[in-house]
Amino acid sequence: MKRWLFTLLMVFFSTQVAIGASGRISEDTRACIECHSSLHPGIVADWKESRMAKISPVEALKKPGLERRISVEKVAESLAGFVVGCAECHTMGAEKHGDTFDHEGYQVHVVVTPKDCATCHPVEVEQYGKNLMSHAYGNLKENPVYHNLAETTNGVQAFKHMKTVYKGPDVETDAGSCYYCHGTRVKVDGVRMRDTDFGDMEFPILSGWPNQGVGRVNPDESEGSCAACHTRHQFSIEMARKPHTCSECHKGPDVPAHRVYMVSKHGNIYSALGKGWNYTAVPWAVGRDFTAPTCGTCHVSLVVSEEGGAVAKRSHQMNDRIPWRIFGLIYAHAHPKSPDTTIVKNKAGLPLPTELTGEPVVDYLIDEKEQGKRRKTMQKVCLSCHSQGWVDGQFGRFERTIKTTNEMTLTATKILLSAWEKGAAKGLAQNDSIFNEAIEKKWVEQWLFFANSTRYASAMAGADYGVFANGRWYMSKNIQEMADWLEFKLKRN
Amino acid sequence: MKRWLFTLLMVFFSTQVAIGASGRISEDTRACIECHSSLHPGIVADWKESRMAKISPVEALKKPGLERRISVEKVAESLAGFVVGCAECHTMGAEKHGDTFDHEGYQVHVVVTPKDCATCHPVEVEQYGKNLMSHAYGNLKENPVYHNLAETTNGVQAFKHMKTVYKGPDVETDAGSCYYCHGTRVKVDGVRMRDTDFGDMEFPILSGWPNQGVGRVNPDESEGSCAACHTRHQFSIEMARKPHTCSECHKGPDVPAHRVYMVSKHGNIYSALGKGWNYTAVPWAVGRDFTAPTCGTCHVSLVVSEEGGAVAKRSHQMNDRIPWRIFGLIYAHAHPKSPDTTIVKNKAGLPLPTELTGEPVVDYLIDEKEQGKRRKTMQKVCLSCHSQGWVDGQFGRFERTIKTTNEMTLTATKILLSAWEKGAAKGLAQNDSIFNEAIEKKWVEQWLFFANSTRYASAMAGADYGVFANGRWYMSKNIQEMADWLEFKLKRN
Amino acid sequence: MKRWLFTLLMVFFSTQVAIGASGRISEDTRACIECHSSLHPGIVADWKESRMAKISPVEALKKPGLERRISVEKVAESLAGFVVGCAECHTMGAEKHGDTFDHEGYQVHVVVTPKDCATCHPVEVEQYGKNLMSHAYGNLKENPVYHNLAETTNGVQAFKHMKTVYKGPDVETDAGSCYYCHGTRVKVDGVRMRDTDFGDMEFPILSGWPNQGVGRVNPDESEGSCAACHTRHQFSIEMARKPHTCSECHKGPDVPAHRVYMVSKHGNIYSALGKGWNYTAVPWAVGRDFTAPTCGTCHVSLVVSEEGGAVAKRSHQMNDRIPWRIFGLIYAHAHPKSPDTTIVKNKAGLPLPTELTGEPVVDYLIDEKEQGKRRKTMQKVCLSCHSQGWVDGQFGRFERTIKTTNEMTLTATKILLSAWEKGAAKGLAQNDSIFNEAIEKKWVEQWLFFANSTRYASAMAGADYGVFANGRWYMSKNIQEMADWLEFKLKRN
């Protein structure tokens, strides 16, 4: 078996390199690298570039004040002296992980979860748990209205006797579409024997895998995947701070944040001059390290002025700077109180934060005082580079846009209600899906694409996304087309 | 008031830094920086990076020939010896600025205008005045046809008794959409007292603010904002030369210049290799400084060959290299003579440069001789890297596309005219808006989206924008759909 | 004639520079540069940056094993000692090139073809000949079904007596749209005398010029243009390896590979961290040179592990890593055996690789065994950074998507067949184009845009392109709209 010999030789050399790079790699991690540096060279090389591979938790703890990146008070002695390598994350707390399996004598789990990361970053994990994103799986899967939207989108249709017929989507389709971002439920579905370079080996079969969605439900029942933004295995803060990371899930017509950013003045500055910025400084100083915000600057990062004055605290809750929820739902509304939105019920009994006609379901939403507080927190960032007059003008327009886009959604809703009433389509009263007919799909686009896009354009000043690029032009045109559709449908056969 | 003390300390240190950076900052500008470096650290840091902060006008005047970036013959003595800082721009000619207010003893205006910039750059400001862009506010606002297009796009609609009803847009909506790029009218609408870190202070309330649109009407009645492209407060020539700057207003489906560029061979070279180019050299040498054009290369910049031979003169008029107007209007046509297009009237009395059926209104448009001159000026740039045969082929295709897209627009117009004639929609004869019904909106898309996109694709060789990405595919499909709409509408109820 | 003098002086200086840069430029090439460095400074400067301008074939041959970039065994003596300059490519084998003309005593051809490149790179040219792309001209032009799709897209329509009428496109339109990517047929259409800086000169008139399409039919009857990806005149491997190059033809809604890549995790890593990668190393080592794949990594490049182990062989055939053909055709299907698809015929006699109802025409397609082999070749690349479980999950979803998107195309096809049958539209039985009516164009979008986009999203994990960005949402909506269209069409007049 020459392949064996070749592999062993490669392992020998690569291990030498690894050991050379740092003497403080734990013995268990060295054992991982021995084989995996030749099996999956990209993973090991990537990790070697990471801060995790270079600094032990104990060294990380020595960083003063705002420079510190880990939030635990004290690291367990067993971990403290080594850099954070394969074994540290993939064998930690083996008993809690449903996907732990015996691998060459080690108790390894494939899926590293927020609970693992919380060993050193408990504050961030706790904050993230208050973020809507950490509940993205359940908020879609367990909300009957939204779940039906996903099903009618992903399901396959047939055409029989001049009628269309829906059937529900399969799990692979769901996992590769909506739940790619929302997160899948990852479970062990048995084991599989595999013939590897190192002989036969047994591995768990994971359903819902691969996935790095923000609300992934892990085999240890924790929610989320830190790797959604802190991409394995380099975990680069530079990458997390750059807008491309957010674009993975926030670029489509339903949530065009990245598109809007890229045509905004901020995005323009980033694209033209951002190559010279410092993306790894902690804390992150406006003016010194960068001269225009990325997504992270406004929504997550610890930002200071050049002289060290605090501009914004780091927050993985994110919504503490967000007074409004401007996308995803039928109407924009005050941010929900709880990240678990399955608990919301409107007067009509639907799991929605507003009535179908737009009135907010106030019990589940933050009040104006809390909105004011969040608005101010966000504006603190704006004021680093803009006068109060500028910022007031900007927010005035944004909040006006929330109002007018909601009005346009109401108009579209009234056309839909007429269609249901006149029998041109079947809706709530007929106990039918509200997403499966052409007129209903046009109604969805009114809020999910066009109103959302217009609000993002207004929030982040990427004007055309509020006009011709999926903005007001389409809101206006869609209403005319919905009205015409209704007229055509009601004509005699 | 501890906050005071903290601020003062920060001010002390930051001032030291500022003074260290250059001894030639004027006393007035130092006074600005004293407070504003802590209030708006981003602005001050950005400015410090600028050429303005490093070189005084007198030094700038010493640059020989083509290297000189300012176009004034002689700078006023009061300005000559200092770098161009806050006070130089924001307190200059206080009496002419409608938004001047007393601020800590200084007569400050918020809105820096082309008239301010003309102090050192008079040639550029004069050229820019001949550019359509400087009239972008009036050309939209004062043209009844175009103004109505904006109103029916931005306005809110209601649905009552099975009918849709339009109401006009509010000023915030207009300012955040069309006029974000076209420019707002900025006016003082009273004053406001504000409780600041430095006590109560009075500030002017500016309507139409913030704005940096290309045709902004300023409180001093000048037109335009140099900051639209020369982004405050770094005023980086690198940024102005990079395509992202233009993309802020030229990326949407109505004017997809940036999208087309990015899939063209030119854009491809820029994306792949542009990181190593020199974007700050003046003059800008093809081959030495860059190997593929950005927007600025073809449309604005002073371009020379490596040996110094002139390829193109700098021009902020821009249209001196543009024989055709290929977007915005119903039909492509020879470029208008005057940048103020509100003076144009066609035979039907409409403020349009062509009849509704496409014939050009020649009195207001440049003639073939002038077109030939401009074509040649542009081709001089192409010939830096392409043979005459290549360039001829490229222009032949482009001008053929102008012809065929106009034909397709005429076909769409004929369907619309039939709809009006047969009572399927209400148009000019019925004294109704020509933009408020579904069929009319489809007609608008035919020229504003699909024909425009196809022409850009042809002009800049980004082929798919002339086929499946909003190009000929959609022109062809839209005509079929317009014809079907008319058929459906005319069916009996 | 002062211009003459000026030009001569410039030529003198530029020649000095050129000679200084390398003593091994052939005399013929020096003669070219003498004039052309001032006429087309961009071309010469670009070439000077190229590897071609720095290394002679004989030096290139000395590179050991995997580092070698040329595939010929032995270079002709006449070429061996000089770098590869203008004359080497543009005067080589003059007699075979239909566009050769006498130019200042040299026998020059404008269009450099794969046959020229094969002088040093025969293996790549041969492989490329087995790639569908090299046949892209004929596969479109000589396939009656596809040719009709192009004609109904590019042709101009008129509207007369309430009917739309198609006329075929002109050659300039075709050359600037479909054939920009597919390649034109370049032919000599006579000669033209031109008044140049160096007096009157005669040049060939080339029809179909300019063009760099992948399937260009050259004046020497060879197929393809290496410059499509290896952009003249720098021929930068960095550029060929970066995704922007592929985006020139693979970004539109019909083939959104680049868009999908850019929102995938791979694209995200490239955008955020790719600036520090080594794009010129040959062979290309995963981990050391890059940490996420570009298009080239998975589809073309010679990839090794850091220790030198082979991950993938270089291949300009490309399809040896591709089991499925997922775009362009009505249904996804096993890859065709021959790159010339004009030979394919289905049972109905149509030149399509499947029946209209989706059944594959197996005789012309690779079998499951060959698919398995290709799948494995591709997976070898994936496994550099991912476990087998991850890769299995990814491929499982992808192949499921092929199945479900084909089902959705079948449903759309059934609606279309009903429309034809009931006389709502005219199709095959009526001997009419299957692409010229609104319902037919909606059917085309079902597979050409939405199913294609969904499959790319699945193949490369750019999820939203499989949902709201031209994905399943549109597949689902389009079917509802097709059914409604049919209902409206069949209503009484």
Per-residue model confidence (pLDDT) at position B12: 45
- Ramachandran angles phi, psi of B158, nearest 5°: -115, 165
Q: Which of A362, A248, A378, A385 is nearest to A306 (CA)?
A: A385
Contact C479 A157 (CB under 8 A): yes
Given a cut of 60, is residue C304 above it in pLDDT? yes
Give the distance from residue A438's alpha carbon to the nearest chain C alpha carbon, in angstroms. 5
* Chain A residues touching C472 at Cβ < 8 A: 153-154, 173, 177
Average pLDDT for C384-401: 97
Interface partners of chain A (CB pairs < 8 Å, 3 or more) are B, C
Task: Name B128's Cβ contacts closer than 8 Å, sequence gap at least 6.
Answer: B114, B134, B224, B226, B316, B317
How far is the C-alpha of C60 from the C-alpha of B188, rounded, in Å?
70
With a CB-CB cutoff of 8 Å, which residues 383-412 of chain B face chain C?
Answer: 383-390, 393-394, 396-398, 400-401, 404, 407-408, 411
Average pLDDT for C303-329: 94
Per-residue model confidence (pLDDT) at position A306: 86
Given a cut of 70, is residue C123 above it in pLDDT? yes
How far is the C-alpha of B327 from the C-alpha of B335, rounded, in Å?
11
Residue among A407, A465, A483 whose CB faces B164 most closely: A483
* Chain C residues touching B405 at Cβ < 8 A: none
Mutate to test the interface with B, among A264, A266, A304, A306 (most CBs of B within 10 A): A306
How far is the C-alpha of C469 from the C-alpha of C452, rounded, in Å?
12
C-alpha torsion sign, points A154, A455, A460, B200: negative
Residue among C275, C473, C477 whose CB faces A275 most closely: C275
Contact B476, C152 (CB under 8 A): yes
Q: What percent of chain A has pLDDT over 70?
A: 95
Question: Which residues, in sequence order, are bridge partners of residue C83?
Answer: none
Average pLDDT for C208-224: 98
Nearest CA in chain A to B175: A397
Average pLDDT for C435-456: 98
Tens of pLDDT, residue by residue over A429-478, are 999 999 999 999 999 999 999 999 999 999 999 999 999 999 999 999 99
How far is the C-alpha of B327 from the C-alpha of A164, rounded, in Å?
41
Tens of pLDDT, residue by residue over A262-309, are 999 999 999 999 999 999 999 999 999 999 999 999 999 999 998 888
* Chain C residues touching B477 at Cβ < 8 A: 438, 441
How far is the C-alpha of A241 from the C-alpha of A281, rounded, in Å?
11
Tens of pLDDT, residue by residue over B365-419, are 999 999 999 999 999 999 999 999 999 999 999 999 999 999 999 999 999 999 9
C-alpha torsion sign, points C331, C332, C337, C341: positive
- The whole-chain average pLDDT of chain C stands at 94
* Chain C residues touching B463 at Cβ < 8 A: 176-178, 180-181, 248-249
Given a cut of 80, is residue A346 above it in pLDDT? yes
Give the distance from residue C476's alpha carbon to the nearest chain B alpha carbon, in angstroms. 20
Q: What percent of chain B has pLDDT over 90?
A: 92
Mutate to test the interface with C, among A12, A99, A154, A275 (most CBs of C within 10 A): A154
Half-sphere exposure of A121 (CA within 13 A, CB side): 19
Using the structure block, give the residue that is written with the tokens 């790797």: A227
Give the distance from residue C469's alpha carbon to the nearest chain A alpha carbon, in angstroms. 5
Tens of pLDDT, residue by residue over B96-114, are 999 999 999 999 999 999 9
If pLDDT is split at 50, 70 and 90, which confidence band does A113 have? Answer: very high
Given a cut of 60, is residue C433 above it in pLDDT? yes
Average pLDDT for B354-364: 98
Residue among C267, C385, C397 whose CB faces A43 most closely: C385
Give the distance from residue A383's alpha carbon to the nearest chain B alpha carbon, in angstroms. 6
How far is the C-alpha of C365 from the C-alpha of C371, rounded, in Å?
10
Tens of pLDDT, residue by residue over A22-38, are 449 999 999 999 999 98
Residue C297 CA, distance from chain mean position: 16
- Ramachandran angles phi, psi of C64, nearest 5°: -80, 145
Contact A418 B162 (CB under 8 A): yes
Residue among B307, B411, B469 whose CB faces C159 most closely: B411
Using the structure block, give the residue that is written with the tokens 């993309």: B247
For the beta carbon of residue C54, count every other beta carbon within 10 angstroms.
14
Strands (E), B370-456: none
Residue among B181, B239, B489 whose CB faces A463 most closely: B181
Q: CB-based contact (8 Å) between C268 and chain B? A: no
Nearest CA in chain B to A492: B493
- Ramachandran angles phi, psi of C217, nearest 5°: -95, 115
If pLDDT is split at 50, 70 and 90, which confidence band does B309 have? Answer: confident
Residue among B271, B305, B465 whose CB faces C244 most closely: B271
Q: Which of A111, A113, A110 is nearest to A121 (CA)?
A: A113
* Chain C residues touching A239 at Cβ < 8 A: 268-269, 272-273
Distances in Å between the Cα of A22 and the Cα atoms of A48, A84, A205 are 10, 12, 34
Mutate to test the interface with B, among C33, C35, C247, C248 (most CBs of B within 10 A): C248
How far is the C-alpha of C114 from the C-alpha of C118, rounded, in Å?
6
Is C205 exposed, middle or buried (CB count within 10 Å of its CB: 0-12, 13-18, 19+)? middle
Can you read off the two tokens belonging to residue A223? Answer: 């929610």
Contact A493 C488 (CB under 8 A): no
With a CB-CB cutoff of 8 Å, which residues 273-332 of chain C face chain B?
Answer: 275
With a CB-CB cutoff of 8 Å, which residues 230-249 of chain C face chain B?
Answer: 231, 234, 236, 238-239, 242, 244-245, 247-249
Nearest CA in chain A to C415: A159
Taken as a whole, chain B contains a residue count of: 493
Can you read off the two tokens belonging to residue C409? Answer: 């195309």
Given a cut of 60, is residue B167 above it in pLDDT? yes
Tens of pLDDT, residue by residue over B71-99, are 999 998 888 889 999 999 999 999 999 99
If pLDDT is split at 50, 70 and 90, which confidence band does B198 have? Answer: confident
For the beta carbon of residue B4, count every other beta carbon within 10 angstroms.
11
Higher local confidence (pLDDT), C81 or C330? C330
**Can you spell out the DSSP letters for A4-68?**
HHHHHHHHHHHHHHHHHH-TT--HHHHHHHHHHHHHSHHHHHHHHTSSTTT--HHHHHTS-GGG-
C-alpha torsion sign, points C434, C440, C441, C443: negative
Q: Which of C184, C181, C158 is nearest to C171 (CA)?
A: C184
Average pLDDT for B139-150: 98
CA trace torsion B341, B343, B344, B347 (10° rounding): 160
Interface partners of chain B (CB pairs < 8 Å, 3 or more) are A, C
Contact B152, A476 (CB under 8 A): yes
Mutate to test the interface with B, among C35, C244, C258, C452 (most CBs of B within 10 A): C244
Q: Which of B254, B273, B304 is nearest to B456 (CA)?
A: B254
How far is the C-alpha of A221 from the C-alpha of A209, rounded, in Å?
15
* Chain C residues touching B458 at Cβ < 8 A: 176
Q: Which of C343, C324, C304, C336 is nearest to C405 (CA)?
A: C324
If pLDDT is split at 50, 70 and 90, which confidence band does B18 have? Answer: very low
Nearest CA in chain B to A456: B176
Average pLDDT for B204-226: 98
Average pLDDT for C111-139: 98
Contact C473 A153 (CB under 8 A): yes
- The whole-chain average pLDDT of chain A stands at 94
Per-residue model confidence (pLDDT) at position C405: 98
Per-residue model confidence (pLDDT) at position A78: 87
Q: What percent of chain C has pLDDT over 90?
A: 92
HEC string of B139-183?
HHHCCHHHHHHHHHHHCEEEEECCEEEEECCCHHHHHHCHHHHHC
Q: Which of B386, B118, B404 is nearest to C172 (CA)?
A: B404
C-alpha torsion sign, points B421, B427, B428, B429: positive
Given a cut of 50, is residue C1 above it in pLDDT? no
How far is the C-alpha of B291 from the C-alpha of B299, rounded, in Å?
16
How far is the C-alpha of B406 from the C-alpha of B400, rounded, in Å?
10
SS3 B357: coil
Residue among B273, B415, B457 whose CB faces C239 most closely: B273
Contact A490 B493 (CB under 8 A): yes
Q: What is the pTM of this model?
A: 0.95
Nearest CA in chain A to C275: A275
Nearest CA in chain A to B194: A388
Given a cut of 80, is residue C483 above it in pLDDT? yes
Q: CB-based contact (8 Å) between B167 and chain C? A: no
Taken as a whole, chain C contains a residue count of: 493
Q: CB-based contact (8 Å) between A148 and chain C? A: no
* Chain B residues touching C49 at Cβ < 8 A: 291
Q: Which of A464, C9, A161 is nearest to B246 (CA)?
A: A464
Contact B468 C152 (CB under 8 A): no
Q: CB-based contact (8 Å) between A431 and chain B? A: no
Per-residue model confidence (pLDDT) at position C306: 86
* Chain A residues touching C307 at Cβ < 8 A: 10, 13-14, 37-38, 41
Mutate to test the interface with B, among C11, C157, C194 (most CBs of B within 10 A): C157
Task: Name C32's Cβ contacts closer than 8 Å, sequence gap at least 6.
Answer: C85, C86, C87, C90, C106
With a CB-CB cutoff of 8 Å, which residues 435-464 of chain A face chain C?
Answer: 436-438, 441, 448-449
Given a cut of 50, is residue A7 above it in pLDDT? no
Contact C252 B464 (CB under 8 A): yes
- Crossing angle between the packed helical segments B472-490 and C472-490, to the nearest 10 degrees: 40
Nearest CA in chain C to B455: C176
Q: What structural domains and CATH numbers belong to chain B?
A: 2-135+172-227 (no CATH), 237-490 (1.20.850.10)
N-term to C-term CA, chain A? 76
Residue among B42, B194, B236 whose CB faces A287 most closely: B42
